[in-house]
Amino acid sequence: MASNSSTSIRPDWQQALYAKPWIWLALLICAHIVSRISISAGMKWDESEQILWAQQLQLGYGPQPPLYTWMQWAACQILGPSVLALALLKHLLIALTYCLAWLAGRQLLGQKGAWWVAAGLLLMPPFGWDSLRDQTHTVMVTAMTMGLWWAVLRQVQRPQAINFVLIGLFCGLGMLSKYSYAMLIGALFLASMTVTQVRRAIFARGWWLAPLVGLLVFAPHGFWLASHWGMATTETVQKMSISTEASHLKGLGNLLKALLATLGLWLIAVLLSYRSRLWRTGSNASLPAQVWAWPLLRNYLLIIAICLLAMVLAADVTDFKQRWMLPLTAIAPLALYVWRPTLLEQGVGRMFTTFVVVFALIFLIMATLRPWQGGRKNDPDELNHPVKALAQELRKAGYDGKGVIVGSDHMIAAMLHSQFPQTYALGCSDGAQLRQCLSQADADTAGGLLLITRADKPVEGWWTGIFTTQTKTAVQTLSMPFEKMPASATPAQYQYLWIAP
């Protein structure tokens, strides 16, 4: 009897997670920020792009919308072009995504259900893992996706004019995050039109605020986009591998692989955690007073499925990236619990919560150990580059940390810019891009010019291209050990030329 009593009053760690999610989220985010700034001063692909783009504030930056870079510019103004500025912005946006997902879940579910909706994102590798590894715009668009769902559900629950402002804001910011967000807006609007209660709420008094706010938010970049359409869309179209010669089966297969790569881990956790309960409708087949929720979510997912199939069968798209699937399917956890509210009963789903906590720790450990992975495989990457040691050697060789840096790729350029923030850095590989960079560098000769390449990512003929416009001079070489690599590993080598002002 005493044993039963002590069991009943024993604190439940899972209930503590559901009741105070913000505390645990803050601890996780802080751990990731500390991990990132501690392991390496090197920068990955997307991180390097942001450091270079954030050197100036523009209406557009090529193939990606500008919102993330605008925010990165603001972070760099405060913290400098540093790994800290990159990590802080990234992980604050990850935290925002979880918060907005929780808020969306709370519109329809209790504390536990909302926690599971937000935690489901962690079990989607494009968010739970890739966002830690090297994603930027995908994190932003996922945050705006969950924000839009929260605003729409809030409007249906309690119609108010402020909700239309929020809907317009998230639509505009979403389009400034990823152009593919337009598909999500269209699918959600069409799904809303199929459910009477939702349709009435969407066209309630003040509905015009949503398109007005959305257009005002997007308009400045929209004017830039109209005159740079090719620059903004060519790269994405190429990634889709549109081909009338390829079999539709190839496109369908790649679509299925992208969907499984996005949702597979979450689905495994769901199947193992809930098992036969997934197929029991129970006595409470729909959420009380929210009978509109399941038709809305179901129809949205059906419309997304139809659009993706049409891309394969009608538009001949043959390649899909899992990061493209993430914002389109991020609402799947909420749809699950609205479809099967019996999963939310007391004592159900404890294994799912355990799954989430375990993978949160696994992803944190994996993110922390990334530089040592290069050593284990004897294959160094950007996180193994001795960035601070390289900067120190360049100073010893006479480089004053000013002027223009032209690197053979944008990663070496960004890493050096983080060590020499008074410079303007450019990453230029070859051909027309290299000529354009050299022309831009020549226009600002007051501070001198540093040209640099790295041996682990050689660009054939790069120095030949350099010397078509610059006076041929002896190139200097620096050699030093990679960080977190065995002593027997091939050292990092850099070739550079410092042209003083």
Per-residue pLDDT tens for 36-69?
Answer: 999 999 999 999 999 999 999 999 998 889 999 9
Q: Which long-range contacts (CB under 8 A, 24 or more apart) does 465-468 make?
A: 465/430, 465/431, 465/434, 465/435, 466/434, 466/438, 466/497
- For the four alpha carbons of 126, 130, 131 and 132, in that order, the dihedral sign comes to positive
Is 466 a residue whose pLDDT tops 80? yes
Angle 189-170-265 from CA coordinates, rounded to 5°: 80
Indicate if the pLDDT at residue 282 is higher than 90: no
Compute the Cα dihedral for 394, 396, 398, 402 and give only its sign. Answer: positive
Model pLDDT, residue 237: 66
d(CA 317, CA 240): 6
If one counts every other C-beta atom within 10 angstroms of the C-beta of residue 3, the result is: 7
Instruction: Give CA separation, 204 vs 109, 150, 171, 211, in Å.
Output: 24, 17, 18, 13
- The pLDDT value given to residue 295: 97
Least confident of 16-30, 194-208, 235-249, 401-415: 235-249
**In the predicted structure, residue 9 carries a pLDDT above the cut 50:** no
Once rounded to an integer, what is the mean pLDDT over residues 161-190?
97
Mean pLDDT to the nearest integer, 393-422: 95
d(CA 267, CA 275): 11
pLDDT score of 498: 93
Cα 243 vs. chain centroid, distance in angstroms? Answer: 28
Whether pLDDT at 175 is above 80: yes
pLDDT tens digit string along 68-116? 999 999 999 999 999 999 999 999 999 999 999 999 999 999 999 999 9
> How many other C-beta atoms lie within 10 A of the C-beta of residue 21?
18
* Separation between Cα atoms, residue 77 and residue 88, nearest integer Å: 13
Distance, C-alpha 344 to centroid of its chain: 30
Pairwise CA distance, residues 60 & 225, whole Å = 7
Per-residue confidence band for 244, with pLDDT thresholds at 50, 70 and 90 = low
Query: pLDDT confidence of 243, banded at 50, 70, 90?
Result: low
Burial of 312 (0-12, 13-18, 19+ CB in 10 A): buried
Q: Are 133 and 27 in contact (CB under 8 A)?
A: no
Lowest mean pLDDT among 68-82, 202-216, 338-352: 338-352
pLDDT at 48: 96
Q: What type of residue sits at position 255?
A: L
* Average pLDDT score, the chain: 91
- pLDDT band at residue 469 using 50, 70 and 90 as cut-offs: confident
Global pTM value: 0.94
The band of 26, judged by pLDDT with boundaries at 50, 70 and 90, is very high
pLDDT of residue 289: 58
What is residue 405's three-state secondary structure? strand
The pLDDT value given to residue 76: 98
